[in-house]
């Protein structure tokens, strides 16, 4: 069976690896660099906390477990860091919601530990205890973080070396050739035609754009800003989440910084200055928790589009009306990717519906568009 995967972010790489492993002859067509879309500029925290409804939580947990399986399978998994993560809120008004969420997560079988400041100091001595003050602190031991570019590189290398997958970067797909309702091939920008028995669209936020021949997926993607410090003499291993600030190590001593309130400072992709207002906003917040970080420690700061299907949930399944054309697009893609890769391969290559995807089919968008009602 010939499978063409469009897009080589963390989702496309996972689908390509699992489809090749399941026996398909896989071709990956990536418009730019491998993992050069949202995946490289993602906070990339593997988690399911706060994710609702329950089937979406379960999908994220399945992803977290699949990361562990994949790391075991490769033996050496330099992309994966299951360090656990630490969360607290400085404002007392946020504590009831934190407690309610932690209890819900625990009821659903998620690892949740309440820890004191002394334990935080043992785990991460660079965190200033004054920044925690008397806030309750939750430790989520199963969570971790991923370096998606390395993830994609290792999976695609394995797909190529073990199962002869054909991986092409700088090969943007411009159209899907559909004849009598069946997707037959894709055409790339250089005019090359790749015939396929199944085509899997893994283009993230670009799924909202029209590829000639097939319908788009309605997306509510939004902007994110991620800052990277210079390599610092830091021993921080775990990510922490304080209020709307997220910080984690990013290899070689760099810290990655994300702050939800900073995201709204931009409305489109644009170059940002390392000494600009957005960078200051991020660094000021970090320095209140990690006093060793200096005001001029920002090495780079980037904008990125966060791929989000319009109802915030994963979209994975065959596109109704276009036989042989499958779409796999999601937010939380880093958490879900290795599971989604397996589930999509089962559906596309083996032809068996995967139970975990039943609530996330693309037809819900078409039904809503045609006035056929909302999904329950």
Q: Which residues contact ligand FAD (rule: CB under 6 A)?
A: 6-12, 29-32, 36-39, 41-45, 172-173, 202-204, 206, 224, 226, 258, 304, 306-307, 329-335
Contacts of 8 (CB under 8 A, 6+ apart): 16, 28, 30, 34, 35, 152, 156, 167, 169, 202
| Rounded CA separation 166/168 (Å) | 7
Comparison of 172 and 265: residue with beta carbon closer to ligand FAD: 172
332: alpha, beta or left? (left if phi > 0; alpha if psi -120 to 50): left
Residue 288 Cβ vs ligand FAD, minimum distance, rounded to whole Å: 21
Residue 137 Cβ vs ligand FAD, minimum distance, rounded to whole Å: 19
Comparison of 133 and 269: residue with beta carbon closer to ligand FAD: 269
Comparison of 268 and 374: residue with beta carbon closer to ligand FAD: 268
Comparison of 38 and 279: residue with beta carbon closer to ligand FAD: 38
Both tokens of residue 259?
Answer: 């702050």
Residue 373 Cβ vs ligand FAD, minimum distance, rounded to whole Å: 27
Comparison of 70 and 351: residue with beta carbon closer to ligand FAD: 70
Residue 236 Cβ vs ligand FAD, minimum distance, rounded to whole Å: 16
Alpha-carbon distance values, 353 to 323, 340, 342, 345, 356 (Å): 15, 12, 12, 10, 9
Give the pairing type, strands 239-242 and 245-249. antiparallel
Ranges assigned E (strand) in 169-286: 173-179, 182-188, 193-195, 198-201, 222-229, 239-242, 245-249, 255-259
Residue 134 Cβ vs ligand FAD, minimum distance, rounded to whole Å: 28
Comparison of 150 and 172: residue with beta carbon closer to ligand FAD: 172
Burial class (CB within 10 angstroms; exposed 0-12, middle 13-18, buried 19+) of 8: buried
Q: Which residue has the tokens 């207002």?
A: 277
Half-sphere exposure of 262 (CA within 13 A, CB side): 27
Cis bond leading into 191, ω under 30°? no
Comparison of 9 and 116: residue with beta carbon closer to ligand FAD: 9
Report the residue number whose CB is nearest to ligand FAD. 9
Give the residue from 64, 42, 247, 240 showing the smallest Cα distance to 147.
42
Neighbour tally for 327: CB within 10 Å: 26
Residue 247 Cβ vs ligand FAD, minimum distance, rounded to whole Å: 12
Residue 28 Cβ vs ligand FAD, minimum distance, rounded to whole Å: 9
Residue 118 Cβ vs ligand FAD, minimum distance, rounded to whole Å: 28
Q: Which residue has the tokens 């994710």?
A: 51
Comparison of 92 and 237: residue with beta carbon closer to ligand FAD: 237
Half-sphere exposure of 168 (CA within 13 A, CB side): 18
Burial class (CB within 10 angstroms; exposed 0-12, middle 13-18, buried 19+) of 218: middle
Neighbour tally for 326: CB within 10 Å: 22
Residue 178 Cβ vs ligand FAD, minimum distance, rounded to whole Å: 16
Comparison of 211 and 289: residue with beta carbon closer to ligand FAD: 211
Comparison of 36 and 231: residue with beta carbon closer to ligand FAD: 36
Helix (H) or strand (E) holding 139: strand 137-140
Residue 267 Cβ vs ligand FAD, minimum distance, rounded to whole Å: 14
């Amino acid at each position: 069976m010939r499978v063409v995967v469009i897009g080589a972010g963390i989702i496309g790489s996972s689908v390509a690896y699992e489809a090749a492993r399941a026996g398909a002859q896989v071709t990956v067509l990536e418009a730019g660099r491998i993992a050069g879309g949202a995946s490289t500029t993602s906070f990339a925290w593997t988690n399911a906390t706060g994710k609702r409804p329950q089937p979406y939580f379960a999908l994220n947990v399945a992803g977290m477990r699949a990361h562990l399986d994949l790391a075991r399978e490769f033996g050496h998994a330099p992309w994966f860091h299951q360090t656990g993560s630490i969360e607290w809120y400085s404002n007392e008004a946020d504590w009831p919601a934190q407690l309610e969420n932690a209890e819900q997560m625990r009821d659903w079988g998620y690892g949740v530990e309440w820890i004191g400041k002394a334990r935080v100091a043992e785990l991460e001595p660079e965190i200033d205890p004054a920044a925690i003050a008397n806030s309750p602190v939750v430790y989520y031991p199963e969570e971790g973080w991923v370096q998606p570019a390395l993830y994609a590189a290792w999976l695609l290398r394995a797909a190529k070396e073990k199962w002869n997958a054909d991986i092409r970067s700088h090969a943007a797909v411009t159209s899907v050739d559909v004849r009598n309702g069946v997707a037959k091939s894709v055409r790339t920008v250089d005019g090359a035609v790749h015939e396929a028995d199944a085509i899997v669209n893994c283009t993230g936020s670009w799924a909202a754009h029209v590829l000639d021949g097939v319908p788009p997926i309605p997306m509510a993607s939004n902007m994110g800003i991620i800052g990277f410090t210079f390599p610092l003499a830091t021993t921080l291993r775990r990510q922490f989440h304080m209020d709307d600030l997220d910080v984690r190590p990013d290899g070689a001593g760099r810290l990655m910084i994300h702050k939800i309130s900073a995201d709204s400072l931009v409305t489109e992709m644009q170059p940002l200055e390392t000494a600009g207002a957005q960078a200051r906003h991020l660094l000021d917040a970090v320095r209140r928790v990690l006093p060793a970080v200096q005001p001029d420690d920002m090495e780079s700061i980037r904008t990125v589009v966060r791929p989000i299907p319009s109802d915030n949930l994963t979209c994975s399944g065959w596109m109704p009306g276009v036989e042989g054309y499958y779409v796999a697009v999601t937010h939380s893609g880093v958490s879900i990717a290795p599971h989604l890769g397996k589930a999509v391969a089962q559906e596309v290559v083996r032809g068996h519906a995967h139970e975990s995807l039943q609530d996330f089919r693309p037809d819900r968008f078409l039904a809503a568009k045609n006035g056929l009602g909302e999904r329950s």
